[in-house]
Amino acid sequence: MIKKWSKIVVNIVYGCCIIAIILLLIQIFMFTSFKIPSDSMEPSLLAGDYIWVNKCSKGARLFNVLDAIDKKPVTIHRMPGWRSFKRNDILVFNLPYPDRWDSITFDVMKYYVKRCVALPGDTFEIRNGRYHVRNCKDILGNLSSQEYLLSLLESGRAKEQGLVTRCYPYSGLLGWNVRDFGPLYIPAKGDTIFMTPKTKLVYRNLIEWEQKTKLQLRGDTVLLGDSAIWSYCFRENYYFVAGDKVLNSRDSRYWGLLPEPFIVGKAIRIWKSVDWDTNEIRWDRILKKVE
């Protein structure tokens, strides 16, 4: 009798271990959960939404998690996937600027969620507050929110709403702001650009992150470390991301471009939603598709 019960217990423990391993593998390679912490993606996502994130469509990331937690340099590899990210996908990613706005750093514990509005190889600009990609006629992001931002700017009420109008790369040389920004070319892996004082200003953070070396300007000559460079070939793909609630979103307008290795995956569905004011479940949002 004792042997029989011992065998049952062993089988139960064995089964639980197998289930735990399967769930862990699903979390690592296929899907993970993410909680929306703010209103920056309203109305698409609300604070208190819990979403499933598809990791495997573009390919799950592999890196040394323990080194990342200790904030040591890590090399991020991506497994093969079956689709690329698209414009208007809502992406979950590690914020490239967790500590300071002039240096890209990988912080595995700090996540953001924003909408992709420009892809590698796109030329992106904001005109009268509205997002545009050259040769693309799609509506990008939350158009009504962009139009509301424009109305605030034109009425002179932007300051009372706490809107920060200056934006990346915060230079009088370009004079970009949240109403009129760009045009900005979004680098794709393998793209080569000519290095000028302007391109040094726009792409400095990306190049320094890829090369782990400082970029400087001596007259009109760009120096990478101690060496003069006249062109640069990018090693990674980059994206321009923006929050749907444009008045309250710290996104690419303010900190620049998102490196592809920092992207966890695409948000696909809300599996739980809790109203933080009342602590009640928002049943109408359960299993709602993220669009």
- Shared domain for 218 and 120, answered yes or no, is no
CATH code of the domain in which 67 resides: 2.10.109.10
In a domain, 248, yes or no: yes
In a domain, 49, yes or no: yes
Active site residues: 40, 114
User: Are 129 and 115 within 8 A, CB to CB?
Assistant: no
Q: Given this model, what pLDDT does residue 276 score?
A: 85
User: Are 141 and 117 within 8 A, CB to CB?
Assistant: yes
The tens digit of pLDDT for each residue in 51-66 reads: 999 988 888 888 888 8
pTM score? 0.90
User: Are 276 and 67 within 8 A, CB to CB?
Assistant: no
- Shared domain for 46 and 134, answered yes or no, is yes
- Shared domain for 239 and 225, answered yes or no, is no
Query: How far is residue 187 from each of residues 101, 190, 258, 259, measured CA to CA in Å?
Result: 19, 8, 10, 10
- Shared domain for 114 and 209, answered yes or no, is no
- Spell 96-130 as b/e; 16+ CB within 10 A means b: bbbeeeeebebbbeebbbbbbbbbbebebbbeebb
In a domain, 174, yes or no: yes
DSSP 98-165: SS-TTS----TT-EEEEEEEE-TT-EEEEETTEEEETTB-S--S-HHHHHHHHHHHHHT-TTTTT---
In a domain, 291, yes or no: no
Give the pLDDT band (50/70/90) at residue 199.
very high
Taking residues 102-131, report their average pLDDT.
95
Mean pLDDT value across the chain: 90
Q: Give the separation between CA 274 and CA 141, rounded to whole angstroms.
A: 25
The tens digit of pLDDT for each residue in 23-79 reads: 555 555 566 889 999 999 999 999 999 999 998 888 888 888 889 999 888 999 998
The tens digit of pLDDT for each residue in 221-256 reads: 999 999 999 999 999 999 999 999 998 899 999 999
Q: Give the separation between CA 175 and CA 90, rounded to whole angstroms.
A: 29
Q: Given this model, what pLDDT does residue 16 score?
A: 67
Would the pLDDT of 131 be above 90?
A: yes
Taking residues 132-152, report their average pLDDT.
94
Q: Given this model, what pLDDT does residue 122 score?
A: 98
- Shared domain for 133 and 61, answered yes or no, is yes
The tens digit of pLDDT for each residue in 146-197 reads: 999 999 988 888 777 778 889 999 988 898 999 999 999 999 999 999 999 9
Q: Given this model, what pLDDT does residue 15 score?
A: 67
Q: Given this model, what pLDDT does residue 101 score?
A: 83
- Shared domain for 153 and 179, answered yes or no, is yes
DSSP 23-47: HHHHHHHTEEEEE--SSTTTTTS-T
Burial of 25 (0-12, 13-18, 19+ CB in 10 A): exposed
Which two three-digit tokens encode residue 170?
């915060």
Would the pLDDT of 287 be above 80?
A: yes
Q: Give the separation between CA 191 and CA 232, rounded to whole angstroms.
A: 8
- Shared domain for 219 and 250, answered yes or no, is no
- Shared domain for 202 and 163, answered yes or no, is no
Give the pLDDT band (50/70/90) at residue 100.
confident
Task: Give the residue from 185, 195, 194, 191 showing the smallest Cα distance to 218.
Answer: 195
In a domain, 276, yes or no: yes
Q: Give the separation between CA 272 and CA 137, rounded to whole angstroms.
A: 34
In a domain, 84, yes or no: yes
- Shared domain for 187 and 272, answered yes or no, is yes
Which two three-digit tokens encode residue 172?
């009088």
* Among 5-19, 68-82, 106-120, the least confident range: 5-19
Residue 24 has, within 13 A of its CA and on its CB side, a CA count of 6
Provide the number of structural domains found in the chain.
Answer: 2
Q: Given this model, what pLDDT does residue 159 score?
A: 77
In a domain, 16, yes or no: yes
Which range marks the domain in which residue 112 is found? 2-191+234-285
- Shared domain for 104 and 148, answered yes or no, is yes
- Shared domain for 74 and 201, answered yes or no, is no
Q: Of 2 and 194, which is predicted with more confidence?
A: 194
119 φ, ψ (degrees, to nearest 5): -105, 165
Which range scores top for mean pLDDT: 3-12, 100-109, 151-160? 100-109
Q: Give the separation between CA 291 and CA 284, rounded to whole angstroms.
A: 15
- Shared domain for 154 and 182, answered yes or no, is yes
Give the pLDDT band (50/70/90) at residue 102.
confident
